[in-house]
Structure 1
Amino acid sequence: MLSALIWLPIVAATVLLCWPGTLSAAWAQRSAAIAAGAALAIAIALFFQFDPQIHDWQLLEQLPWIEQLGLGYRLGVDGLSLPLVGLNALLTFLIIAGLERQEQRSRLYYGLMLLLSGAVSGAFLAQDLLLFFVFYEVELIPLYLLISIWGGARRGYAATKFLIYTALSGALLLIGFLALTILSGAGSFAYNPNLAAVLPIAQQVTLLVLILVAFGIKTPIVPFHTWLPDAHVEASTPVSMMLAGVLLKLGTYGILRFGLGLFPQVWPIVAPWLAGLAVVSTLYGSLSAIVQQDMKKMVAYSSIGHMGYILLAAAAATPLSLLGAVCQMISHGLISALLFLEVGFVYSRTGTRDLRVLQGLLTPERGLPIVGSLMILAVMASGGLPGMVGFIAEFMIFRGSFSTFTVQTLFCMVGTGLTSVYFLLLVNRAFFGRLPDQMETLPNVALREHIPALMLATLIVIFGVQPQWLVVWTEPATAALGNLAVIASRALDALT
């Protein structure tokens, strides 16, 4: 099942790209939608095959690959990766099947989307350090092309900047993985939580910092964040949805899996620094969002702030904070995808995202009332309104981190208030007031085009009202990871 989840989209992408003769845009979209729907069905089936009471890897697949290098094809899924795999499959299907058809070079576009989705699933499911790195690097290629071909006026600059930053991230990650395997004397690159335990403390700290910087670029954490606003502003709406909804989670997932998971013994040494960076990222992202006049750039900076919450939770490394971190990944994935989708509708109907120009879009007669309503729901969820998934995720993070990093948690809680400020500014300026007389009646958004947004909004509310349906899959895995960090911290105290 795990291999099918990875290779079905990749094979479908290869068929689309290599299909002899011409293929209409409609058929390219239908073919990609069938492949994405099949991958989503497999992801849903995973939840039925998965035992939520077991915290360890399940549904393991192992095959020898390059034995001379210690590289094996090892896949597995646990409570940390399962929700992210489901999120990736869901967003891919909604984007391909539900959004407006891409007419320009459609075969290449949908093929790259499927390739991107398959590579991301491979990274979440990889149980081998080098195999993870391979998928981590493969996803750069389709994303770079999706931005540079279908992006905005400065797409070349944004795509190149993204490629340079993330290539640097991959290089640091490869150095860290190679050094960890060689220094520990391991015979293979198989994921092993005890891999670093045999190394001296100084070597562990050095390798951990190297890996954290690599994933910090991907997350992104301030000061490695500057590629993200440019990439979002220039990317098309579907690419922005994938970038914010799924691809940023490769960074936060890597921090938990390969940072805390491999180096629990020295995690307390770097944790205060991470908590400080979490505060900086949260406040910087939130304050930067307040001063933006471009709706899309405001949402992009909000992502930087919300990734800071996950970094705080990882630094605290308590069972509750880690559970909140995974919930925040899913919460942010759903909410940010909805926000970028609605911003895309505004731009396609009005021709602008400038908050100094937009006004009164909620007007029922000539405006975009459904778009405005869904945007209001998304900003309330992002601001942590009770009854929506954003609230429960942030509450668990702050409650789980407060006892460990009290001051840092309080500063990050300020970020929640700032989220309400900048999103209220967005909604008030763009959607309330009187629609200008010079702006003609805006083209309607067809009901079919609203289906992806309505599905995202439904999940945001369902998981907010009944969060147990989300946390049940993750709680055993994050509890085990948090307990491991506690035990390792006590061992480090005894050693020092």
Structure 2
Amino acid sequence: MLSILILLPLIGAALIGFYPTTINGKIARGMALTCAVIIFLWTIFLTVKFNPAEVGIQFAESLPWIDVLGLNYNLGIDGLSLPLLLLNGLLTCIAVYSSDETIQRPRFYYSLILLLCTGVIGAFLAQDLLLFFLFYELELIPLYLLIAIWGGAKRGYAATKFLIYTAFSGILILASFLGMVWLSNSPTFGLATLNAHTLPLGTQLLLLIGILVGFGIKIPLIPFHTWLPDAHVEASTPISVLLAGVLLKLGTYGLLRFGMNLLPAAWEYAAPSLATWAVVSVLFGASCAIAQTDMKKMVAYSSVGHMGYILLAAAAATPVSILGAVMQMVSHGLISALMFLLVGVIYKKAGSRDLDVIKGLLNPERGMPVIGTLMVLGVMASAGIPGMVGFIAEFIIFRGSFEAFPVQTLLSMLGTGLTAVYFLLLLNRAFFGRLSAPLINLPRVYWSDRIPAFILALLIVVFGIQPAWLVHWTQATIQGMVNTQNLITQIL
């Protein structure tokens, strides 16, 4: 069942890329969208079959692959990976739907998006360290090409910077994975047989540094964040949706799955430093966002701050905080995707993202009142207004982290206030006031441009009002992970 989920985008990419006759952009987009919808529906089918009360891995698949390396084809789903798989399926559909029908080299473009989807799915399903690494690296090249070929004026610089940072991230992660297996004399790279928790504390800390820096680059955390604003600004809107909504979550997922879960003694020792690191990322990201005049770069820096909340929750390592971390991953995926979609529509119609140029877009006659209303909703969700999924995710994180790190939690709460500041600046400058002269004759915004944003806005409100529908799938797994970690640290 899980292999099908990996094969579907691969088959779709091959079909679009190597179809024997010529196909235009509209047909290629239709084929890619059909494939993405099937992937999403299959993920929903797995969700229906998933038992939320079961702690361990479900739908497990295991096949021998390269025995001499100890590498096996091990797949599985639990409550940590399931919400992220659903998020990936949804945002892949939205990214394909939001792509321009007249895009150049459409067959190559849509094949790369589906190949990117394959890498993300495989990484979330992998129950083997080397298998995870292979899928983690698989998504690198498609994303590089999607930025380098279809990006903005400085796409070459942004894509190369992303490639260098992410390649270095992969080197550190691979070194830590190899160290875990070889130093602990584990027979394979499978998570079920790995006993890295038996290593001395000093060795665990050394391995954890590689994990933290490697995945910290991907998240990204301060000071490894500089590739992200450039990548977002130069990437097209659909690629920014995937980058912020899904690909950054590979970093936070990796910290929880391979850092906290496999090296519990080192994680507990480093937790105070990690909580302080989280505060720095939250406050620095928010401060940088306030200084921006490019709407897209402002949203990009907001991601740096909001991903810091997840590190705070992971450092606390309580059942409530880790539950909040999973909620924040989904929340940030939905909210950031909505914000980038709306900024993309504004740029497409107004020809600018500069807050010094764009004014009065909420004008009911000549502006973009519907887009502006959706932007207000997105800002409210990102700022943690009650009734939105952003509020409940951050509240659970703060509630679960306060007992462990009260000072760091209080300082991180300042980030929510700063979020309100920079996004209110965005709303005030871009949407209120008199419509600026260059924007008087704006092109019409069609419903086809609004549908993806409406879907995301609906989910943001629904999960904000009824978060139990999301918590239901992950609570047992998180409780089991934390209980296991606490038991191991007590024994050691």
TM range (shorter): over 0.9
Tell me by how many angstroms 1:99 deviates.
Answer: 4.4
Secondary structure in 1 matching 2:352: coil
Aligned length: 492
Match of 1:469 in 2: 469
Q: State the one-letter code of the partner of 1:9.
A: P
- Are positions 1:292 and 2:286 aligned together? no
Give the 5 Å matches for 1:376-395: 376-395=376-395
The 1-side partners of 2:297 and 2:94 are apart by: 23
Gaps of 5+ in 2: none
Structure 1, residues 239-294: CA drift from partner, whole Å, max 9, x if none?
00000000000000000000001011221111111111100000000000001000
- Are positions 1:189 and 2:177 aligned together? no
Structure 1, residues 150-169: CA drift from partner, whole Å, max 9, x if none?
00000000000000000000
- Are positions 1:402 and 2:368 aligned together? no
Match of 2:266 in 1: 266
TM-score of the superposed pair, with normalisation by structure 2: 0.98
Cα 1:438/1:107, change in 2 over 3 Å? closer
Tell me by how many angstroms 1:98 deviates.
Answer: 4.5
Secondary structure in 1 matching 2:362: coil
Cα 1:438/1:112, change in 2 over 3 Å? closer
The 2-side partners of 1:307 and 1:152 are apart by: 25
Q: State the one-letter code of the partner of 1:396.
A: I
Tell me by how many angstroms 1:101 deviates.
Answer: 2.2
Give the 5 Å matches for 1:123-272: 123-192=123-192, 195-272=195-272
Q: State the one-letter code of the partner of 1:76.
A: G
TM-score of the superposed pair, with normalisation by structure 1: 0.98
Tell me by how many angstroms 1:17 deviates.
Answer: 1.4
Match of 1:441 in 2: 441
Match of 2:42 in 1: 42
Secondary structure in 2 matching 1:265: helix
The 2-side partners of 1:84 and 1:193 are apart by: 24
Structure 1, residues 168-211: CA drift from partner, whole Å, max 9, x if none?
00011111111111111111110138521221111111111111
Structure 1, residues 121-141: CA drift from partner, whole Å, max 9, x if none?
000000010000000000001
Match of 1:305 in 2: 305
Structure 1, residues 17-68: CA drift from partner, whole Å, max 9, x if none?
1222421111101111111111011000011110000111000011111111
The 1-side partners of 2:408 and 2:119 are apart by: 35
Match of 1:57 in 2: 57
Secondary structure in 2 matching 1:168: helix
The 2-side partners of 1:388 and 1:109 are apart by: 34
Match of 1:117 in 2: 117
The 2-side partners of 1:102 and 1:491 are apart by: 61
Instruction: Report if the CA contact (8 A) 2:186-2:194 is conserved.
Output: no
Tell me by how many angstroms 1:488 deviates.
Answer: 3.5
The 2-side partners of 1:193 and 1:260 are apart by: 17
The 2-side partners of 1:202 and 1:18 are apart by: 51
Give the 5 Å matches for 1:73-92: 73-92=73-92
Instruction: Report if the CA contact (8 A) 1:264-1:484 is conserved.
Output: no
Tell me by how many angstroms 1:489 deviates.
Answer: 3.8
Match of 1:22 in 2: 22
Instruction: Report if the CA contact (8 A) 2:75-2:127 is conserved.
Output: yes
Match of 1:350 in 2: 350
Instruction: Report if the CA contact (8 A) 2:303-2:336 is conserved.
Output: yes
Give the 5 Å matches for 1:403-442: 403-442=403-442
Cα 1:102/1:254, change in 2 over 3 Å? farther
Cα 1:209/1:438, change in 2 over 3 Å? closer
Q: Percent identity?
A: 60
Match of 1:67 in 2: 67
Cα 1:368/1:193, change in 2 over 3 Å? farther
The 1-side partners of 2:151 and 2:401 are apart by: 39
Structure 1 range deviating more: 103-112 or 335-344: 103-112
Instruction: Report if the CA contact (8 A) 1:99-1:452 is conserved.
Output: no
Cα 1:119/1:133, change in 2 over 3 Å? same
Gaps of 5+ in 1: none
Structure 1 range deviating more: 21-30 or 97-106: 97-106
Match of 1:281 in 2: 281
Cα 1:102/1:334, change in 2 over 3 Å? farther
Instruction: Report if the CA contact (8 A) 1:221-1:281 is conserved.
Output: yes
Cα 1:257/1:193, change in 2 over 3 Å? farther
Secondary structure in 1 matching 2:130: helix
The root-mean-square deviation of aligned C-alpha atoms, in Å, is 1.1
The 2-side partners of 1:485 and 1:230 are apart by: 38
The 1-side partners of 2:484 and 2:229 are apart by: 36
The 1-side partners of 2:111 and 2:90 are apart by: 17
Instruction: Report if the CA contact (8 A) 1:309-1:394 is conserved.
Output: yes
Structure 1, residues 460-493: CA drift from partner, whole Å, max 9, x if none?
000000000000001111111222333344345x
Structure 1, residues 390-413: CA drift from partner, whole Å, max 9, x if none?
000000000000000010000100
Q: State the one-letter code of the partner of 1:376.
A: V
Match of 2:458 in 1: 458
Q: State the one-letter code of the partner of 1:145.
A: L
Structure 1, residues 308-353: CA drift from partner, whole Å, max 9, x if none?
0000000000000000000000000000000000000110111110
Instruction: Report if the CA contact (8 A) 1:267-1:489 is conserved.
Output: no
- Are positions 1:108 and 2:112 aligned together? no
Match of 1:322 in 2: 322
